[in-house]
Structure 1
């Protein structure tokens, strides 16, 4: 990452756009994802969306891609873990939105040393519902509530409980193959895809510094992507083939464990909002 982007990230809590692969490579990734979705059906594919890099070797390779990881390590330091990954896909004309929120609210980390790399696989523009951020908002944790809005794409239904000054919002426009990086505590969200046609899809990869751990006694699961293991997480392993049985069983067990950790955080939000 160049000096200007590093400075922008430190000051504003995000950096974009960052070119990490060609548009042709992004199109190939998008095609492979659509093939997997067609093979499984949209509903089943959604169930496998969380930590899909543990089920598909090509997604594992994206999470480990040096063109992404090197930029992340320039911010988080030489030891980096992947805490999670997921797709954010909006069909044209759908009501799907991402409410204003801070990622770290429900991650349960013992320090806010993490970020999201959001890799665009199709054009991400204001019309298609690109990521929007509130620069500088990463410096302070703000109250959240579990609202479970019908249009929310967030699985836990959390969102900022107070009014957000949208006059400060900035659009993170990305071309396919470009990414944005945003701090784990940056307030961000996105509007619906209002384009006449076309899908807006991005691959969100959650990275944390290697010395970060989950709050409480339970260890979480994570993937080591560079540097050394600090023994803060139980380490995940690469699948040999798409959707192989052993990887599916491992994925199921990891998700059950991880869901318990984040649901505990969401429950504390819900109790605090009553």
Structure 2
């Protein structure tokens, strides 16, 4: 029995690698969450960049509630079963007339996970459309194996290493994922996707949550995740605790430790790749 998605939506995800839009909260609630985010952005906290880019759900109770929200998690269960971990989360924000972009890439490139059974829930806290740099996907590319990537470290690229696929992408096949506040999209870890700069005056705000079934393992070292549904009989990830208040000092310290460990995974081989490119 499916909990949220229709059978047609499940089949669309299997065939094309994405499904959207899915309404997970009212527009009013989405705008309330946006205000919480922007209140933090306007604060004097020294944590602003790291807090928004790495496992934000460990620092803010309201985001931890979101990654566990049934409206978000039920569609993930429809795709990958009842035992689920939230492995990572981060904001993708483009300000008005922002040159920031996301190059064509596959999420699976540097994550070190054992299987491509990974799905991203991209939750819109603002409108996301063609004018403000909505995410674009190339349908069906999730059925490909891992594609070689090159690191660019472009200053305007929102990805950790500015990584991009090292093959030509047929952009004429790309589909823009347009969402209203409170809607989300789901995309497969291997689908080729990216997003152009924001040419509008309006901010584009999305919160990306990466979910994995509990049988997926981390191959590149110790790692942690948040159990959001069911049970974990594999226990290959350290289970993350649940914050009860925002920016709890104990969770700030935990977030720092986990963030440093994860960077070792995400940037593994970066120095060697850079040296090889110079030769």
Tell me, yes or no, whether TM beats 0.5: yes
TM-score (norm 1): 0.95
Answer yes or no: is 1:6 the counterpart of 2:10: yes
- State the match for 1:143 in structure 2: 148
- The CA deviation string for residues 94-122 of structure 1, in whole angstroms up to 9 with x for no partner, is 10000000001111001111011000110
Instruction: Give 1:266 shift.
Output: 4.5
CA distance in 2, matches of 1:16, 1:268: 38
CA distance in 1, matches of 2:66, 2:154: 31
CA distance in 1, matches of 2:273, 2:237: 24
Residue ranges of structure 2 left out of the alignment (5+ in a row): none
Answer yes or no: is 1:45 the counterpart of 2:48: yes
Instruction: Give the 3 Å change call, closer, same or farther, for CA 273–6 of structure 1 in structure 2.
Output: farther
Alignment map for 1:228-239 (pairs within 5 Å): 228-229=231-232, 230-239=234-243
- State the match for 1:176 in structure 2: 181
Is the Cα–Cα contact under 8 Å of residues 123 and 175 in structure 1 kept in the other structure?
yes
- State the match for 1:191 in structure 2: 196
- State the match for 1:256 in structure 2: 260
Instruction: Please give the root-mean-square deviation of Cα atoms over the aligned residues, in Å.
Output: 1.5
CA distance in 2, matches of 1:175, 1:120: 7
Instruction: Give 1:40 shift.
Output: 3.2
Instruction: Give the 3 Å change call, closer, same or farther, for CA 266–23 of structure 1 in structure 2.
Output: farther
CA distance in 1, matches of 2:15, 2:185: 15
Q: How many residues align?
A: 271
Instruction: Give 1:227 shift.
Output: 1.2
Is the Cα–Cα contact under 8 Å of residues 158 and 266 in structure 1 kept in the other structure?
no
- State the match for 1:23 in structure 2: 27
Instruction: Give 1:268 shift.
Output: 6.5
- State the match for 1:108 in structure 2: 112
TM-score (norm 2): 0.93
CA distance in 2, matches of 1:158, 1:272: 16
Is the Cα–Cα contact under 8 Å of residues 213 and 219 in structure 1 kept in the other structure?
no
Instruction: Give 1:270 shift.
Output: 4.9
CA distance in 2, matches of 1:72, 1:124: 21
- State the match for 2:158 in structure 1: 153
Which portions of structure 1, spanning 4 or more consecutive aligned residues, are displaced by more than 4 angstroms?
265-274
CA distance in 1, matches of 2:209, 2:164: 20
CA distance in 2, matches of 1:272, 1:102: 22
CA distance in 2, matches of 1:67, 1:271: 46
SS state at 1:256 partner? helix
- State the match for 1:221 in structure 2: 224
CA distance in 2, matches of 1:264, 1:65: 33
Alignment map for 1:80-95 (pairs within 5 Å): 80-95=84-99
SS state at 2:267 partner? helix
SS state at 1:40 partner? coil
CA distance in 1, matches of 2:150, 2:276: 8
